A and B are shown apart, each in its own frame.
Chain A
Amino acid sequence: GAVVSQHPSRVICKSGTSVKIECRSLDFQATTMFWYRQFPKQSLMLMATSNEGSKATYEQGVEKDKFLINHASLTLSTLTVTSAHPEDSSFYICSASPGRDYNEQFFGPGTRLTVL
C-alpha cells in the first residue's frame, strides 16, 4: 500500500517551454502533497505544500508564478515549471500524506528535468 507515482520520470525540454509533472497517490487519498527539488549531491529542498482544494503554500524563495501547483483532487497534484531555464534542471520529487499532520509521507519516484 501507500504507492505514489510520478509522471514523467524523465523530461528534456528547451529553454522557455513549460513542463508539467504529475503526482498521483494510487491507493490512498492524499490530503496533503509536497513538492521537493533536489540538486546533485544536495538534500531535499521543500518547494511547496499543497492541500486538496486550496492554494499551495510556497517556501521562501520559491516563485509561485514560476512553479504552478494544482491539487485538484485527493489523488492528484501537478507541478508546472513555466518558462523553464537551464538552472531549473533538477530532480523533482513529490510526496503525499494521508493526513494533515505530515507524519507520514510517501514519496514518488521523482522526475529528472533537464532544460537545454
Chain B
Amino acid sequence: GQNIDQPTEMTATEGAIVQINCTYQTSGFNGLFWYQQHAGEAPTFLSYNVLDGLEEKGRFSSFLSRSKGYSYLLLKELQMKDSASYLCAATDSNYQLIWGAGTKLIIKP
C-alpha cells in the first residue's frame, strides 16, 4: 500500500533550527511536496522536490532522497509564526497526491 510517515508533533525554540522528516512508500514516484497549514486555514505551498538533493528557499529548505524514500523540511531562524502543521505529500505514478497526517510544530519563546 501507499504510505506517508511523519512525526505527529515537534517542539522547538524561537531562533533555533528544526528538521521535520518524512518517509514515503508509493506506487511510482513523481515528486514530493511540503505544505504549511495554520489552524483553521488551507495549506499553503512550501516546496516541491523531484530530484535528489537540497532545495533552499529562504529560511526553509527541503531535501529528497529517492533511493531511501525520504525527505525532510528544514526550518531555520524559527519565528513564532512558524507554529503550524507541516504536511508532506508524495505524488504516485498516476500523479495522485498521497498525504501524510502532518507534523504539528510548536515554537516556544
> Residues on A close to B: CB < 8 A?
42-46, 49, 91, 93, 100-103, 105-110, 112
Contacts and interface: CB of A to CB of B under 8 A. Distances in A.
Contacts, number: 44
Given A100-B95, A103-B91, A105-B45, 18 more contacts: A43-B100, A43-B102, A44-B87, A46-B96, A49-B96, A93-B43, A101-B30, A102-B95, A102-B97, A103-B30, A103-B31, A103-B48, A103-B95, A106-B45, A107-B42, A107-B43, A109-B41, A110-B41
Interface SS of chain B:
loop
B44 interface: yes
Nearest to A100: B95
A19 B63 CA distance: 41
B53 to A, nearest CB: 18
Interface string B26-49: 000011000100001111110010
A102 B99 CA distance: 14
A42 B37 CA distance: 12
